[in-house]
Amino acid sequence: MSKQRKAVALISGGLDSMLAAKTIMEQGVHVEGINFFTGFCVEGHTHAIRAQDKAKPKRNNSLWVAEQLGIKLHIVDVIEEYKKVLINPKHGYGANMNPCLDCKIFMVNKAKQWLVENDFDFIITGEVIGQRPMSQRKATMPIISQQSGADDLLLRPLCAKNLPETLPEREGWVDREKLHEITGRSRKPQMALAKQFGFDDYAQPAGGCCFLTDASYSAKLVDLWKARDGDKEYDLDDVMLLKVGRHIRPEQHFKLIVAREEGEERFMQGYKKDFITLKCIDYPGALTLVDGTPSAEDLFTAARITARYGQGRNAEQVDVRIIGKDGSERIIQVKPFAADEIPQAWLI
Amino acid sequence: MTRETLNARRLLCPLPVIRTQDKVKQLKVGDQLEVICTDPGVMQDIPAWCRINGHKVLETVSGDHEYIIILEVGG
């Protein structure tokens, strides 16, 4: 009796990786999923933070996909290791701060390490030639295989027939004839395959959940690095705080993060010991965190901005409480900025 | 059988799942783990993770912005 082969599938939570894994499972291969958490896979985070999103049903798509497939899923924290990918991507960035090709190489490399440690035989991804402008092109497929170190242990079941044979095909672990030859950006072949497999619910569209592809998020990240004199080091709190609130930078040396709603405010409360905070006293209003090294004059500006985003925005004077990182408190009275007094250039 | 507690407060999903996964690796079959979280997403994600990995959710408790899941390690 031949040995049952084992494949590790990169599961993003989207349709393509789900179909790729299912295609190989149908051939009698034991498949387990792997999902990498970079800190920027933030769909769940945003939902958890913002109160207004709570009415929507929430699920982690990679866990959901694994459950639909009936496979184990290993979620791996790669936050620290991912920094070198983001900070210095060999193949550069996409339209925003998304280092998609380096990211894919990194993840396949991590999967290869996992494969060796867990005695698996090959790696599956849901890549499709022509699906993505940066990382999923005919020219990038061999680059990912080679630079990740996976070489011909990397099988892309959805477009395998358009690529050279891999080891699992040559060895007969999988039947190449039962693999696919999907190309391009159309989703129709994937939808047809999903129907064939009986999947009538899946994440749409195949865009992943990486915040680095988001223009607004990327602008905040670039601003953060610039304000730190080009030092691109970051930690998870930096990454998290770029996702909440309005970000307003009146000067290079200080920035305000103003909560937009209750959920964000509750989340930001957890950072009160790390930042100077401001809050209106007599009127309902947003919590503001101050990042950087503001002077007394800067804090006066910060208070006027905080008052602008509170319900006392039309009042002549508003009392604003300022709490230092050491817990010291003081109250100042300010006139809220009018809408047109906050320069557009301050808004990140 | 031992029972341990994991503090996953202030972590947002999937980090509570990852911390749970890492802790469970150190436990034995039949051991129990109480995971205390503040992200409501764990009420979906940790039970889903348990189902696909063969662990059993014994109890879930929610209230006052905290969410507690007690699970038993499976084989």
In a domain, A223, yes or no: no
Which tens digits make up the pLDDT trace of B53-67? 999 999 999 988 899
Q: Give chain A's domain count.
A: 2
Model confidence over A213-228: pLDDT tens digits? 999 999 999 999 999 9
Question: CB-side exposure of A188: number of CA atoms within 13 Å?
Answer: 2
Active site (catalytic) residues of B: 13
Q: Would you say residue A207 has pLDDT above 60? A: no
Angle ∠(A34,A39,A40) on CA atoms, nearest 5: 95
pLDDT-derived band at A46, boundaries 50, 70, 90: low
Residues A34 and A177 placed together within one structural domain of the fold: yes
Residues A288-297: contacts with CB under 8 Å, at least 24 apart? A288/A256, A288/A257, A288/A258, A288/A259, A289/A241, A289/A245, A289/A256, A289/A257, A290/A254, A290/A255, A290/A256, A291/A241, A291/A254, A291/A255, A291/A256, A291/A257, A292/A227, A292/A253, A292/A254, A292/A255, A293/A253, A293/A254, A294/A253, A294/A254
* Minimum Cα–Cα distance from A271: chain B residue: B10
Contacts of B40 in chain A (CB under 8 A): 48, 54, 58
pLDDT mean over A183-204: 90
Q: A302 in a domain, yes or no?
A: yes
**Claim to verify: residue A203 and residue A249 sit in the same structural domain:** no
Given A212, A231, A257, the domain boundary residue is: A212
Comparing C-alpha atoms, which of B21, B12, B47 is closest to residue A39? B12
Residue A273, chain B, CB below 8 Å: the answer is: no
In this prediction, residue A59 carries a pLDDT of 78
Q: For residue A266, tell me if it sits in a domain.
A: yes
Instruction: Give the domain-ending residue among A168, A195, A212.
Output: A212
Give CA–CA dist B20/B28, Å, rounded: 14
B40 vs B68: which has the higher pLDDT:
B68
Whether A143 contacts chain B with CB within 8 A:
no
CA distances from A188 to A15, A200, A303 (A): 12, 14, 53
Residues A173 and A272 in one domain: no
CB distance A44–B45 less than 8 Å?
yes
**A203 and A251 together in one domain:** no
Q: Which residues of A touch B46 (CB under 8 A)?
A: none
SS3 A86: helix
**Where is pLDDT greater, at B1 or A222?**
A222
- The pLDDT value recorded for residue A206 is 43
Buried b (16+ CB within 10 A) or exposed e, A48-65: bbbeeeeeeebbbbbbbb
Same domain, A99 and A208: yes
- Judgement on whether residues A116 and A41 belong to the same structural domain of the protein: yes
Instruction: Determine the pLDDT at residue A52.
Output: 59
Determine the distance in angstroms separating the CA of A163 from the nearest CA of chain B, rounded to an integer.
33
Is A51 at the interface with chain B, CB within 8 A?
no
β-pairing verdict for A154-155 and A122-124: parallel
Q: What is the pLDDT of residues B5-40, one digit of tens each?
A: 999 998 888 999 999 999 999 999 999 999 999 888
Is A45's pLDDT higher than 80?
no
pLDDT at A98: 93
In chain A, residues with a C-beta closer than 8 Å to the C-beta of B15 are 37, 77
Quote the tokens at residue A26: 């149908």
Contact A48 B10 (CB under 8 A): no
Separation CA A106–CA A34 (nearest Å):
13
In this predicted model, what pLDDT tens digit does every residue of A119-160 receive, in sequence order? 999 999 999 998 877 678 888 999 999 999 999 999 999 999
Say if CB A287 and CB A279 are below 8 A apart: yes
* A18 and A86 both lie in a single domain: yes
Q: What's the rounded Cα separation, in Å, for the pair A291 and A223?
A: 12
Predicted pLDDT at A79: 94
Q: What percent of chain B has a predicted confidence (pLDDT) above 90?
A: 80
Same domain for A153 and A292: no
Same domain, A30 and A85: yes
Residues 6+ apart with CB under 8 A from A344: none
Tell whether A36 and A138 lie within a shared domain. yes
Q: State residue A1's pLDDT score.
A: 61
| Any domain includes A228 | no
pLDDT at B74 over 80: yes
Query: Residue A236 falls within a domain, yes or no?
Result: no
**pLDDT higher than threshold 90 for residue A189:** yes
Q: Which positions in chain A touch B41 (Cβ < 8 Å)?
A: 44, 47-48, 58, 60
Q: B2 to chain A, minimum CA–CA distance in Å?
A: 24
Pairwise pLDDT comparison (A210 vs A161), residue with the higher score: A161
Question: Same domain, yes or no, for A99 and A10?
Answer: yes
A183 lies in the same domain as A260: no
Q: Which residues in chain B are closer than 8 Å to A67, comparing Cβ atoms? A: 48, 51-52
- Does A239 reside within a domain? no
> How many A/B residue pairs have CB atoms within 8 Å?
65
Task: Decide: B8 and B42 in contact? Cβ < 8 Å.
Answer: yes
DSSP E strand stretches across chain A: 6-10, 30-37, 73-77, 122-124, 154-155, 246-251, 254-258, 276-280, 288-292, 318-323, 329-334
| Distance in Å, alpha carbon of A228 to nearest chain B alpha carbon | 26
| A330 shares contact with chain B (CB less than 8 Å) | no
pLDDT at B75: 82
| Higher per-residue pLDDT: A130 or A5 | A5
Tokens, residue A177: 């004839």
Classify residue A83: in a domain, yes or no: yes
Higher per-residue confidence, A46 vs A272:
A272
Cα A278 from Cα A243, distance rounded (Å) = 19
Q: In this complex, which of A44, A47, A63 lies closest to B49 when CB atoms are compared? A: A63
Q: What percent of chain A has pLDDT over 90?
A: 78
The separation between CA A262 and the C-alpha centre of its own chain, rounded to angstroms, equals 23
Question: With bands split at pLDDT 50, 70 and 90, how would you rate the model's confidence at A246?
Answer: very high
* In a domain? residue A219: no
Answer whether A176 touches B (CB < 8 Å).
no
Delineate the domains of chain B, giving CATH numbers in brackets: 3-72 (3.30.110.40)
Q: Which of A54, A63, A64, A81 to mutate to test the interface with B (most CBs of B within 10 A)?
A: A63
Residue A118, pLDDT > 90, answer: yes
CATH code for position A87: 3.40.50.620
d(CA A186, CA A71): 28
Predicted local distance difference test score (pLDDT) of residue A41: 80
User: What local confidence, expressed as pLDDT, does residue A298 receive?
Assistant: 97
Question: Which distant-in-sequence residues (6+ apart) come within 8 Å of A343 by Cβ?
Answer: none
Mean pLDDT calculated for residue range A281-297: 94
Show the domain range for A293: 244-346
Q: How far apart are the first and last CA of chain A?
A: 63
A54 at the B interface (CB within 8 A)? yes
Residue B45: pLDDT over 90: yes
State the smallest CA–CA distance between residue A72 and chain B in angstroms: 5
Scanning the structure block, which residue is given the tokens 């291969």? A29
